[in-house]
């Protein structure tokens, strides 16, 4: 064999080299191939601003495992990669970069800003892609896409115009989430609700014309009082029946507002009277619509009070709150202030408290598309793994509101709506401004300043990346995609939007399966975050232990939908596993060099051990394939791990060593053929999980093979089903384990050989042990193996171990040098006598007991119990030996 494995496994030396080999040979590239079945995964596009974190590492490792598995199974496997323009995140980065250069984005204007943004994207946008390559991601980089490339941008315009013409996209004034720092609207999915400590301010609103009569309301946001247009009570609340229809003097203003009756009010909560601020609360907005109330917006975009706020105009919302509470108190209208913890909406990007605000924005009507998305799940066109996430999906769709899609940002897809300069007519048009105004014939237009929510373009990702809206060969062949892999924290954001977009634009759900994984938490179970400083950089792990070790760690114990904890010790053990395979492979290859190994080996030339391990790897291929098809990746890799470490390395290699070292052994060729064959298959089953180490070993073991990546996935074969031989070897293994347990329990060193008797009345069992005698010398440290039907000739003091249908005996005198053991035990007896005297002395000393800390006393009591137990064992052993 010309090529050799290096003495030690060094991932740094081989991972970059092998990755480059795969890229150079085009193994990741998928083509439209009518002779093959397609298998497609679309990569959730990471943000161009992003860098690899553990969530990305887990998500992309799982996708890579599935794509490598299907590629080996003979599918035309496409893993479609790309990045997302990440509107808010990128705009913030570019704005900050310009600030550092002393440039104000508003002074340079939109076009100049966009030029800087594209330059930033070109410089930093590929960083996360290069990091994914370090992980071993075998995505089709030749097809890499970006959500603002020409093709994706065309798809966005196409969808916008189609939905607008259908009446499903409209512009209207509705209540939206507004971020005062980023100064843009947000969708509900971008608002995180966190519990914050606040207050309920109880305020009296005077009843007009009834001196001394008040209505008491309680609010967590007193500053919004300036926008109140009513106070609501429940129509069945007898306390307030007489007040409905009356007017109240709105404190701190010169306005009067009505008392209205609406079932929205909970009689049991607070005072039963609720201030209604339609422009600043989503529930109040709906109440306002029912009662034709005015919508008074009292905030500027930066959350300062606007000109409608009278003396408070220009103040920040919280500054105004303090001033208004002080004024209410001075007017005698502040009843009380009660501490109150409640959920507050914050922007998931900048963590600013979001303000609900009525603003003219663009919306997508959701009711019809939501119904179609629910039907896709009910009809089985779409399935979640695990199934419990059906509920999350359905809950969100059943409660969906119209989607606010406009953002007050420059970086992103600009809304294709144009306003006539002369008459103000609005035209929605694909491919730029219309030639002339359909109303007045004018040829000058101004485009809408807003851009689209980032999720609008990523909702089209599974088909826009394949060339839609054009009827491309890729679209016809690779769509719908097979599986989407994503975290449970993103179901609403993205999965649902892709489903309704796919169904509406293509008539098909964009993927058959959604495989949901959990979060990677730290070793204490906490979510990794910047604020806690407990994030672990996957690149640091790769640098220290290699990508294979990180990938195996992320998949060990991994179950769909469940969170996992990251332990450095686990990465070390994954690296040790790679070392184990490496060293075992080197041992096998060194022996292969010494003999000619045939291409094939007839079954009648194989020994029982050979058939056992072949049968085992055969069943493994079947089991792992079943697990992979059910997306049980953690179970699959555990089976491969256990097989390689235990069955193959710890048992089979040890079993065949005597045959390899004996030049006269006629079964040596069969042993070598079996070693090479089983190692090759085990490496293939491990390859999707640990691509680098398996590639290096496989191609060294099989120089004629180009790459393990394009080799065939092992399939179960009836000709390797050796059930009887499996049973036989498992029986021998059970006996060896029993022998080892006895010897360990008696502290017998491996160098001390002993005679082994196997007693069984069952002839078939005796035959198994006759055929397996050779294993006992190496595995059971036997000097001689005697197999018999009864106990004849076995000394009474022989140590025994019972296994299924047989008893193993070992002469006591051969295991232990009795004189030496008595001498050792007597020394131990003397030591324990001293220890017991010391502990008893301390515990019977009143001074010690009264002054020592409780923990110290407990510690000494624990020692007393331990030494007493040890002494009893030593005395019992001595009594046996002295007989």
451 φ, ψ (degrees, to nearest 5)? -115, 170
Residue pair 517/485 in contact (Cβ under 8 Å)? The answer is yes
The pLDDT tens digits of the residues spanning 667-690 come to: 999 999 999 999 999 999 999 999
- Pair 232, 138 in one domain: no
Residue 245 Ramachandran class (φ > 0 left, ψ -120 to 50 alpha, else beta): left
Residues with Cβ within 8 Å of 268's Cβ and at least 6 positions away in sequence, in order, are: none
Which helix (H) or strand (E) element contains residue 407?
A: strand 406-407
Whether 703 shows a pLDDT value over 90: the answer reads yes
151: preceding bond cis by omega (within 30 degrees): no
What integer pLDDT is reported at residue 1 of this predicted model?
42
When divided into structural domains, the chain yields a total of 6
Q: Give the highest mean pLDDT range of 261-275, 739-753, 802-816.
A: 261-275
Strand order from edge to edge, sheet including 38-42:
76-80, 38-42, 481-487, 511-517, 383-385
**21 in a structural domain:** no
- Helix, strand, coil percent content, the chain, rounded in steps of 5: 50, 20, 35
Only one residue has tokens 């235990």, namely 646
The DSSP H or E segment spanning 583 is: helix 568-592
- For position 54, which CATH number holds? 3.40.50.620
The predicted-structure confidence for 69-84, as pLDDT tens digits, reads as follows: 999 999 999 999 999 9
Q: What are phi and psi of 258, to 5 degrees?
A: -85, 160
- Distance, CA of 788 to CA of 735 (rounded, Å): 15
SS3 label, residue 636: helix
User: Both 149 and 254 in a single domain?
Assistant: no
**Domain enclosing residue 262, as ranges:** 192-349
To which residue do tokens 């939905």 refer?
Answer: 163
Q: Which residues contact 318 (CB under 8 A, 6 or more apart)?
A: 223
pLDDT digits (tens, 9 = 90+) for 845-873: 988 889 888 888 999 999 999 899 888 87
Read off the CATH number of the domain in which 604 is found.
1.10.730.10
User: Is the dihedral angle over the CA atoms 767, 771, 776, 782 positive or is it negative?
Assistant: positive
Mean pLDDT across 380-390: 95
322 lies in the same domain as 275 = yes
pLDDT of residue 334: 95
Q: Identify whether residues 209 and 293 lie together within a single domain.
A: yes
pLDDT, residue 118, reads 95
**628 versus 309: which is more confidently predicted?**
628
For residue 786, pLDDT over 90 is answered with no
**End residue of a domain, out of 322, 349, 376:** 349
Backbone φ/ψ region at 805: left (φ over 0), alpha (ψ -120 to 50), beta: left
285 and 224 both lie in a single domain: yes
Q: Is 22 contained in some domain? A: no
Rounded Cα distance between 309 and 832, Å, is 86
Q: Which of helix, strand or coil describes residue 754? A: strand
Assigned domain for 630 exists: yes
How is residue 606 written in tokens? 């194989």
Give the contacts of 523 (CB within 8 A, at least 6 positions apart): 565, 566, 567, 568
The whole-number average pLDDT for the span 291-320 is: 93
Residues 737 and 838 in one domain: no
pLDDT in tens, 474-485: 999 999 999 999
pLDDT exceeding 70 applies to what percent of the chain? 100
Residue 596 lies inside a defined structural domain of this protein: yes
Mean pLDDT across the chain: 92
161-165, 655-659, 741-745, 757-761: the lowest-pLDDT one = 741-745
Is 542 inside a domain boundary?
A: no
Instruction: Tell me which range, 267-281, 498-512, 785-799, is most confidently predicted by mean pLDDT.
Output: 498-512
Average pLDDT over residues 362-387: 96
Angle at 81 between CA 78 and CA 84, to 5 degrees: 150
Tokens (6 digits) for 311: 């003396």
- The residue among 810, 845, 870 that closes a domain is 810
- Identify whether the C-beta of residue 785 lies closer than 8 Å to the C-beta of residue 814: no
Contact assessment for residue 780 and residue 661, using Cβ atoms and an 8 Å cutoff: no
Claim to verify: residue 251 and residue 333 sit in the same structural domain = yes
Residue showing tokens 């809950």: 395
Cα gap 677→64, rounded to integer Å? 25
CA nearest neighbour of 202 among 212, 214, 185, 193: 214
> What confidence category does residue 184 fall into, taking pLDDT thresholds of 50, 70 and 90?
confident
Average pLDDT over residues 7-16: 93
Q: Give domain status of residue 374, yes or no.
A: no
Segment 771-788 mean pLDDT: 84
Quickly count: other Cβ atoms within 10 Å of residue 839's Cβ: 19
Q: How far apart are CA 217 and CA 274, in angstroms?
A: 6
Per-residue burial over 801-813, b if 16 or more Cβ lie within 10 Å, else e, is: bebeebbbbbbbe
Alpha-carbon separation of residue 855 from 319, 837, 847, 851, 860 (angstroms) = 55, 20, 16, 12, 9
Give the CATH number of the domain where residue 838 resides.
1.10.287
- Residue 377: alpha-carbon gap to chain centroid: 23
Report residue 405's pLDDT band, with 50, 70 and 90 as the boundaries.
very high
Are 15 and 546 a contacting pair, CB within 8 Å?
A: yes
What is the three-class DSSP state of 613?
helix
Percent of the chain whose predicted confidence (pLDDT) is above 90 = 69
Q: Are residues 441 and 469 in the same domain?
A: no
pLDDT of residue 799: 81
CATH number assigned to the domain comprising residue 806: 3.30.2320
Domain assignment present for 604:
yes
Burial 280-313 (b: 16+ CB within 10 A, else e): bbbebbebbeeeebebbbbbbeebbbbeebeebe
Measured CA to CA, the distance from residue 298 to residue 438 in angstroms comes to 37
- The Cα–Cα gap between 642 and 623 comes to 13
What is the residue whose two structure tokens read 């045939």? 598
**12 appears as a binding residue in the annotation:** no
Specify the range with the lowest mean pLDDT, choosing from 298-302, 329-333, 737-741: 737-741
Confidence of residue 806 (pLDDT cuts 50, 70, 90): confident
In the predicted structure, residue 529 carries a pLDDT above the cut 90: no
Same-domain check for residues 781 and 639? no
Is residue 96 located within the same domain as residue 201? no
Give yes or no for residue 25 having a pLDDT over 70. Answer: yes
Whether residue 537 contacts residue 510, with contact meaning beta carbons closer than 8 Å, is answered with no
pLDDT in tens, 819-834: 877 887 889 899 999 9
**Ramachandran area for residue 203 (φ above 0: left; ψ -120 to 50: alpha; else beta):** beta
The pLDDT tens digits of the residues spanning 229-285 come to 999 999 999 899 899 999 999 999 999 999 999 999 998 888 899 999 999 998 999
Instruction: Give domain status of residue 793, yes or no.
Output: yes
Both 205 and 336 in one domain: the answer is yes
Higher pLDDT, 200 or 820: 200
The mean pLDDT value for 717-742 works out to: 90
> Both 146 and 262 in a single domain?
no
């Amino acid at each position: 064999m010309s090529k050799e494995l290096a003495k030690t496994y060094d991932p740094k030396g081989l991972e970059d080299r092998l990755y480059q080999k795969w890229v150079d040979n085009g193994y990741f590239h998928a083509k439209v191939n009518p002779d093959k079945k397609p298998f497609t995964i679309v990569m959730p596009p990471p943000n161009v601003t992003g860098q690899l974190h553990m969530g990305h590492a887990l998500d992309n490792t799982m996708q890579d495992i599935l794509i490598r598995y299907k590629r080996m199974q003979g599918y035309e496997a496409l893993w479609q990669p790309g990045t997302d323009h990440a509107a808010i995140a990128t705009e913030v980065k570019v704005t900050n970069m310009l600030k550092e250069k002393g440039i104000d984005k508003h002074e340079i204007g939109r076009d100049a800003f966009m030029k800087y943004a594209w330059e930033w994207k070109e410089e930093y946008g590929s960083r996360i892609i290069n990091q994914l390559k370090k992980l071993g991601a075998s995505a089709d980089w030749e097809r890499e896409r970006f959500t603002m490339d020409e093709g994706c941008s065309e798809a966005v315009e196409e969808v916008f115009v189609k939905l607008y013409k259908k009446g499903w996209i409209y512009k209207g004034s509705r209540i939206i989430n507004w971020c005062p720092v980023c100064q843009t609207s947000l969708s509900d999915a971008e608002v995180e609700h966190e519990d914050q400590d606040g207050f309920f301010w109880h305020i009296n609103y005077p009843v007009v014309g009834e001196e001394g009569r008040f209505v008491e309301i309680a609010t967590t946001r007193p500053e919004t009082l300036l926008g109140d247009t009513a106070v609501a009570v429940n129509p069945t609340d007898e306390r307030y029946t007489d007040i409905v229809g009356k007017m109240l003097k709105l404190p701190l203003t010169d306005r009067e507002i009505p008392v209205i009756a609406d079932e929205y009010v909970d009689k049991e909560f607070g005072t039963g009277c609720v201030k209604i601020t339609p422009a600043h609360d989503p529930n109040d907005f709906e109440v306002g619509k029912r009662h034709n109330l005015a919508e008074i917006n009292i905030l500027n975009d930066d959350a300062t009070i606007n000109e409608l706020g009278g003396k408070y105009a220009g103040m920040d919302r919280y500054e105004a709150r303090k001033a208004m509470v002080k004024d209410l108190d001075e007017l005698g209208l502040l009843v009380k202030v009660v501490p109150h913890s409640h959920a507050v909406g914050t922007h998931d990007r900048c963590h600013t408290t979001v303000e609900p605000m009525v603003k003219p924005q663009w919306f997508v009507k959701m009711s019809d598309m939501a119904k179609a998305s629910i039907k896709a799940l009910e009809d089985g066109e779409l399935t979640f793994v695990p199934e419990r996430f059906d509920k999350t999906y359905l809950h969100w769709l059943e409660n969906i509101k119209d989607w606010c899609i406009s953002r007050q940002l420059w970086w992103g897809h600009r809304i294709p709506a144009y306003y006539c300069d002369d008459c103000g007519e609005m035209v929605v048009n694909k491919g730029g401004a219309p030639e002339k105004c359909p109303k007045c014939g004018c040829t000058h237009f101004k485009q809408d300043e807003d851009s689209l929510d980032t999720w609008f373009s990523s909702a089209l990702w599974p088909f826009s990346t394949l060339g839609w809206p054009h009827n491309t060969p890729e679209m016809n062949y690779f769509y719908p995609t097979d599986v989407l892999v994503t975290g449970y924290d993103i179901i609403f954001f993205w999965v649902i939007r892709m489903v309704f977009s796919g169904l509406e634009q293509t008539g098909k759900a964009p993927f058959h399966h959604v495989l949901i994984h959990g979060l990677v938490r730290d070793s204490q179970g906490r979510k990794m975050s910047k604020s806690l400083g407990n994030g672990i950089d996957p690149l640091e792990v790769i640098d220290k232990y290699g990508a294979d070790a990180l990938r195996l760690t992320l998949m060990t114990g991994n179950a769909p939908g469940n969170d996992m904890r990251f332990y450095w010790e686990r990465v070390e053990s994954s690296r040790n596993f790679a070392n184990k395979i490496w060293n075992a492979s080197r041992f096998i290859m060194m022996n292969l060099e010494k003999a000619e190994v045939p291409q094939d080996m007839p079954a009648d030339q194989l020994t029982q051990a050979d058939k056992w391990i072949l049968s085992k790897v055969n069943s493994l291929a079947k089991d792992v394939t079943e697990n992979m098809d059910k997306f049980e990746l953690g179970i699959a890799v555990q089976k491969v791990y256990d097989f390689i470490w235990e069955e193959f390395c710890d048992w089979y290699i040890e079993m065949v060593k005597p045959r390899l070292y004996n030049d006269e052994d006629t079964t040596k060729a069969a042993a070598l053929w079996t070693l090479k064959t089983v190692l090759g298959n085990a490496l293939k089953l491990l390859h999707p999980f640990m691509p680098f180490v398996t590639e290096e070993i496989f191609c060294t073991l099989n120089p004629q093979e180009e790459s393990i990546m394009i080799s065939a996935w092992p399939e179960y074969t009836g000709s390797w089903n050796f059930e009887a031989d499996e049973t036989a070897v498992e029986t021998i293994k059970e006996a060896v384990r029993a022998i080892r347990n006895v010897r360990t329990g008696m502290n017998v060193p491996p160098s001390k050989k002993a005679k082994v008797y196997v007693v069984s009345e069952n002839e078939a069992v005796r035959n198994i042990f006759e055929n397996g005698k050779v294993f006992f010398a190496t595995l059971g440290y036997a000097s001689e193996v005697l197999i018999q039907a009864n106990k004849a000739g076995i000394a009474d003091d022989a140590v025994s171990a019972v296994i299924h249908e047989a008893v193993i005996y070992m002469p006591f005198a051969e295991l232990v040098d009795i004189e030496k053991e008595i001498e050792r035990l007597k020394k131990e007896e003397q030591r324990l006598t001293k220890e017991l005297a010391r502990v008893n002395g301390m515990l019977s000393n009143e001074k010690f007991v009264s002054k020592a800390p409780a923990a110290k006393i407990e510690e000494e009591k624990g020692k007393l119990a331990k030494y007493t137990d040890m002494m009893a064992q030593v005395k019992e052993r001595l009594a046996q030996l002295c007989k």
